[in-house]
Structure 1
Amino acid sequence: MTPAARSQAAIDILDAVIDAARGGGAAADTIVARYFATRRYAGSKDRRAVRELVYAAIRRAGEIPASGRAALIGLAADDDAIAATFDGSDRGPAVIDPGEPVAAAGAMPAWRGAALAVSGVTASDQAALVGRAPLDVRVNRLKADVAEIAAQTGGEAIPGLPDALRLSAGTNVEPLAGAVEVQDAGSQIVSLAARAMPGQRIVDLCAGGGGKTLALAAAMDNRGELIATDVDRARLSRLAPRAEKAGVTIAQPVLLDAGREAAVLSAWEGSADTVLVDAPCSGTGTWRRNPEARWRLTPQRLDRFVQQQRHVMGLAAPLVRPGGALVYIVCSLLDAEGAAQVEAFLQHFPDWRAEPLSLPAGQPRGQGLRLDPAHDGTDGFFVARLIRLC
């Protein structure tokens, strides 16, 4: 592909991403994959170059652009090489008209920025939310040695995380499946709040594809009882093959029926040493990885997440034994989903208390800790450890 053809491909993909963001369609990475699945002629360098253009344009545009062309013209305004590709050639974009729309630069849409500011995330810190994310992995201690993986990959240790490595961007980790799991350092840090130990009974209530489930199993040395539940069949179905590759045998997937979760969960009532609630949320802390997600979030959608989080915490509380812990995690920097949720829980359940956390990163926020890209170099998370009193 010529540089002009790459720019036109980026515009076509950006149009699809913008339409999906407005209509609740597929994520950008899915759209990129679908685009190239039908264009086998594009080589790996072409795919990489187009993808970089797409994501650079997405990260630059705070408000959702009028079109893919407007998004890329915005990028061209800062880069003469990109501007030169608007040459009107057969496979390239038309020459830029001085009067046509240009996507404005910004970290995020105005109301999202205001909501984050109210939650103590300053305008300067907000820019880090759409920066490039590093490639972090968790070495699976059940099957691999950290030093050996570090020597093999050139990975660098991450302070405070003995099983974590930060790899160079683009490192191919597929040959290491089972030995390592791609997992942001922040996700690994908040998982430590569970204090998982061999022989415990732990419920991972919103397990999804099982990233934190596998981390818990490794911390438990694959000994004990680990129940992984979710209402999403497709996501939960990913756990079994991942667990097999990782050598994890204690993780028991349990599919829940949305709205009827309590009937199934009653079998574990009052018996769990720890219940991990990695709750559904706005994902503001992961916008580095999914920058177009900031275009999707609406006040109404945020309200739905807040209600879901309260519902899930209400399901989790009865499962914890006296003296046990509920670990609440959201990959969000908004207080409505983090500190405020914990305060509401403690008011509703007076026989619980928050336990102070000491983790390798994070700053106190309400009754928990908050990690963010600007201060910790990780994805954004809020975590709290709540203890059921005897």
Structure 2
Amino acid sequence: MTSDSAAYSLLTEEEREFQRVVRQFMEREVRPIVADMERAGRPPQELLKKMGEQGILGCFAPEEYGGGGGSLMTRAIVAEETARVDAGLDATLFVSISLISRHLLKRGTEEQKQRYLVPLLAGEASASICLTEPHGGSDALSPKTRAVKDGDHWVINGSKTFITNAPISDVFMVFARTSGENRRAKGGTAFLVDRDTPGLTIGQPFDKLSLRSSPTAEVFLDNVRVPESQVFGEEGQGFYYMLEGLDYERVFEGASNTGIAQACLDLAVDYATDRQVFGEHLASYQMIQDKIARIATGVEMSRVMFYHLIRTLERGEDCTRAASVLKLYSSEAAVEASREAVQILGGYGLMEEYPAARLYRDAKHHEIGAGTSEIMKIIIARETLKAAGKAK
């Protein structure tokens, strides 16, 4: 980001300095091992611990839990800078830190915070959210996973799929219906289930197109018994917590998309100004300039909007429509940026030794994950009609 970017003014000087520190860490510690992480299908535990020690994971959390006490923007900076180098690592951190840690900070008991939050912020543990099921992801209020009370315990049965971090997680936040009707928020409960709980098993890691350095698998729950102390928040309110976090999740999707698109811009500019064709640098051709201009525009618009919405979240304001607009626009901008980067590199863009192919794969994930583009359009239309007083 240059100082003439409209987004530059949305950061404090302290946040800009933090951004420089995080960027240096990513270049020094992460970029050299991206290929290794892609092959292994997971980030090394040593890297997560190093990020914890450097204060990168807990930058936004209170100091009493090992955090840095910074703004939510600092967490957004980490997300963007991580995705700029490896979107798979960002996905792993997003679930453990942006989702689980945030939930624990907001509603966890003190015992749950000490047991789960502190290790997550230190990079000593990972976590998963178990929401999506094999029969569908967008209809999250109609899970087949059920939990029933049995004395002072709950018994959970069901299965979850596409669960980020499942192969490496130490704790799983499982959403199950405990009462009420399908497609209704009331009656869902969230449970914190330890990895070694009898009846909980993890499937083989998926062989994915995108985000290969972030492990994903199925989770099976067969008569899993958890004590009352493992209920997260209030009984019957779990789906409300999930819905409440959707705006937050989609804004952070914008952070990842911006990071991916910026990586595409960096790659395209470097290649186009170095590569010569017919005696001229590739960047001198207007059709290449058109591609670079379009990528740069997508990066700028995505970043400005996502920074603005981070500030909106910091103020505690709702931004359902705007978050969906950001998620839709930034994911499409990242996909276009990655496609054009591949095109600019030509044959080299198809080679795995260059990052263009990985960026192309990773960008596509964000048109599907955290709500498909089609779902985003439905939300945007619904909220626009509602604001105009035209909702049916």
TM-score of the superposition, structure 1-length normalised? Answer: 0.25
Largest Rg, 1 or 2: 1
TM-score of the superposition, structure 2-length normalised? Answer: 0.24
